[in-house]
A and B are shown apart, each in its own frame.
Chain A
């Protein structure tokens, strides 16, 4: 199974400041079809998860443009350009290239300083 490793696991951020979360996979996530199926999910406190980013850098509907995804191969990053109070929660990367199983990272908890 592909192991997804996130860092940091806890990220205190000042409102209005940027934040960055790293996600590394134990093997390349480039699929034989040429696509890289790396997703980012957000889970706000007490809520169901929702996807923010698919295929490394594509934002889902309704996702603010302060969220961006980048990376390739085994190294990926989720960036929040200016953190807002609404961004508090846990962020997970998930790979859908080598499955089953689809595997999640451990999660990164974003909180306001």
Chain B
């Protein structure tokens, strides 16, 4: 079964750090460009970050630039999101996902909740 399995969410204090993981199951991650997308409670979807299949390109939303780092370990079929200097407005469900822009294919993780609160 092809799926993305996420882990690493939780409660963290403002200014703290957290690392999210997203492991591919049933397929190899190394051929796929990957995204992180988040959803604040009761709100819509917000694209957060992107990494090319080989890790050569990385892009971020302005709201997280300089605080979040996307990375991957293709030998472990795992995607990461390191989040530093967390703020209350980072509270959200974070999804890892991959989709082809020109072909019928997309896979999303189950989502992981990140709560930033003192």
- Chain A residues proximal to chain B, CB less than 8 Å: 35, 37, 39, 41, 43, 48-51, 54-55, 58-61, 90, 92, 94, 96, 99-107
User: CA separation between A100 and B58, bound complex, in Å?
Assistant: 10
- CB of A100 within 8 A of CB of B105, answer no
- CB of B47 within 8 A of CB of A101, answer yes
A41 in contact with B45 given A54-B100, A99-B59, A100-B59 (CB within 8 Å) = yes
- CB of A104 within 8 A of CB of B95, answer no
Q: Determine whether B89 belongs to the interface, using a CB cutoff of 8 Å to chain A.
A: no
Total CB contacts across the A-B interface at under 8 A:
64
Interface of B is mostly: strand
User: CA separation between A96 and B102, bound complex, in Å?
Assistant: 11
A100 in contact with B99 given A50-B108, A59-B104, A106-B44 (CB within 8 Å) = no
Hey, which chain B residues are within 8 Å of A105, CB to CB? 44
A102 in contact with B95 given A35-B102, A37-B101, A96-B101 (CB within 8 Å) = no
- CB of A54 within 8 A of CB of B104, answer yes
- CB of B104 within 8 A of CB of A58, answer yes
Hey, which chain A residues are within 8 Å of B62, CB to CB? 101
